[in-house]
Amino acid sequence: MLKPDEAIGRILAQISPMPTERTPLLAAQGRALQVAQNARFELPPWDNSAMDGYAVRASELPGTLPVSGIMAAGVSPDAELAVGTCMKIMTGAPVPRGADTVVMRENVEEGTSVATFSEAPILGRHIRRAGEDISADSELLPAGSRLGPGELAILAAQGIAEIPVCRRPRVAILSTGDELVPLGATPSDAQIISSNSTTLAAQIREAGGIAVDAGIVPDTLQATVRALRSLADYDVLLTSGGVSVGDFDYVKEAYETIGVSMDFWKVAVKPGKPLAFGTRAIPGSDRTQLVFGLPGNPASSLVSFEIFVRPALRKLLGFASATRPRIMVTLSEDFEKATGRTNFLRAKLTPSETGPVATLLRKQGSGMLRSMVSVDCLVQFDADTTHFAAGSKVPALPLRGAW
Ligand code: AMP
Ligand code: MG
């Protein structure tokens, strides 16, 4: 059976980023820059003061000097400091020509029109040099950068008000199951509410996609095929449930009926062994839809999305790195498992001096929702190992954080 990393590799190999669109800067928050951006001008644009204080010629100090003027933030950088004088200066104000040093106000004895400096200052102190932050023509951000507040700030400071990002993929969620009713409906005594529709929509949005709930289909081939056909416009199609070997699991057959080219059906992973991935050439267009058949069990669905679908969405969104980086965590307790499948267990993380400690959450059954609450990471247990000792370090996939 396919290993999870092989499955991720096969998925990513089928994907190229979505077409780009230009967007106002702030609307690009959390998305990936598509074209590297270079500086348009240097910053700071002129030498300016890092402190409220006095602009001086260092060689003229110590001593008492007349105050010949005041430089406030926003005044022209054209001023000149007359020999034998000092000028009052504010943080961010341009340093007048001739001055080579700023003395902090706290170290100056201020008279009515004079200032007394008791010490010789260090030449060049408290001056921010033109271009010391950003030099002209330097690269501000490479393509593929994730645009957080700091990245948006550097672009804003350079007057870059619009940038190219990938169009957000539109992702349809189709839930399958005779037992399911939508949120808002009252289940009969044979029914449950489809929680996966909500989990998956939230995960899609969190990954940067546009989630559309395509509703619930009953467990018949005909209804499944009809629904899948109606969803050809979406960039990605997720089905939930019906992908296993039960008598009423029609998703695989429905995919084949509508011409999905299946890449794989199963991955050696727990939870989430039945996991389908394929591509569908949309007739009459040059578009290819990505199709994921996720297992119906709530925890399997959540975990499968994180491991397999999220990287696909991130690659569609043009991120330089599609997968979240693994972290190493220390196990707080022993763990035993069978060989054959990589296990991903939901865990909480606690910081410690030797790095994060993972405490496995209770109620790990693939059908259970309880351990999906307050989960910080998925701890990854190697397929071929059976015993993991408390205190040992293992890789984990963080579920929170910026990337
Ligand atoms: P399936 O993969 O269709 O065999 O479903 C496996 C289990 O997950 C069954 O107990 C289903 O009732 C449950 N299940 C399937 N779809 C959903 C859903 N959308 N929301 C919550 N539970 C579901
Ligand atoms: Mg089902």
> How far, in Å, CA of 311 to CA of 207, rounded?
9
Q: Is 12 helix (H, G, I), strand (E, B) or coil?
A: helix
- 175 in contact with ligand 1, CB cutoff 6 A: yes
Ligand lying nearest the CA atom of residue 192: 1
Alpha carbon nearest to ligand 1 atom 17, residue: 296
- 239 in contact with ligand 1, CB cutoff 6 A: no
Return the pLDDT at 203: 97
| Residue 313 CB partners (closer than 8 Å, separation 6+) | 169, 171, 204, 207, 208, 209, 236
Contact present, 242 and 248 (Cβ < 8 Å): yes
Return the pLDDT at 21: 98
DSSP-derived secondary structure letter, 90: -
Question: In which element (H, E) is residue 214 found?
Answer: strand 210-217
Alpha carbon nearest to ligand 1 atom 16, residue: 296
Torsion of CA 338, 341, 346, 347, to 10 degrees: 60
DSSP output for 324-375:
PPPEEEEESS-EE--SSSEEEEEEEEE--TTS-EEEEPS---TT-SGGGTT-
Alpha carbon nearest to ligand 1 atom 15, residue: 296
- 296 in contact with ligand 1, CB cutoff 6 A: yes
- Secondary structure, 3-state, 254-321: HHHHCCCEEEEEEECEECCCEEEEEEEECCCCCCEEEEEEECCCHHHHHHHHHHHHHHHHHHHCCCCC
Return the pLDDT at 269: 97
| Residue 59 CB partners (closer than 8 Å, separation 6+) | none
Ligand lying nearest the CA atom of residue 296: 1
- pLDDT > 60? residue 307: yes
* Atom number of ligand 1 nearest to Cα 175: 19
pLDDT, tens only, 270-292: 999 999 999 999 989 999 999 99
Gap from CA of 206 to ligand 2 centroid (Å): 26
- 195 in contact with ligand 1, CB cutoff 6 A: yes
In which band, very low, low, confident or very high, does the pLDDT at 57 lie, cut at 50, 70 and 90? very high
Alpha helices in 3-74 (DSSP H): 4-13
In which band, very low, low, confident or very high, does the pLDDT at 178 lie, cut at 50, 70 and 90? very high
* Atom number of ligand 1 nearest to Cα 176: 16
Give the mean pLDDT of 204-227: 98
Q: For residue 103, how many other CB atoms are within 10 A of its CB?
A: 23
- 271 in contact with ligand 1, CB cutoff 6 A: no
Predicted TM-score (pTM) of the model is 0.94
Return the pLDDT at 402: 55
Q: What is the mean pLDDT of the chain?
A: 97
Q: What percent of the chain has pLDDT over 90?
A: 98
Alpha carbon nearest to ligand 1 atom 7, residue: 297
* Atom number of ligand 1 nearest to Cα 243: 2
> How far, in Å, CA of 266 to CA of 2, rounded?
7
pLDDT, tens only, 8-51: 999 999 999 999 999 999 999 999 999 999 999 999 999 999 99
Return the pLDDT at 136: 95
In the chain, the domains with their CATH numbers are 4-19+168-316 (3.40.980.10), 23-43+133-166 (3.90.105.10), 48-127 (2.170.190.11), 327-398 (2.40.340.10)
Gap from CA of 176 to ligand 1 centroid (Å): 8
Gap from CA of 367 to ligand 2 centroid (Å): 12
Gap from CA of 296 to ligand 1 centroid (Å): 4
Q: Is 396 helix (H, G, I), strand (E, B) or coil?
A: strand
Give the mean pLDDT of 142-162: 97
DSSP-derived secondary structure letter, 28: G
Give the mean pLDDT of 346-352: 97
- 272 in contact with ligand 1, CB cutoff 6 A: no
Question: In which element (H, E) is residue 181 found?
Answer: strand 180-181
Return the pLDDT at 151: 98
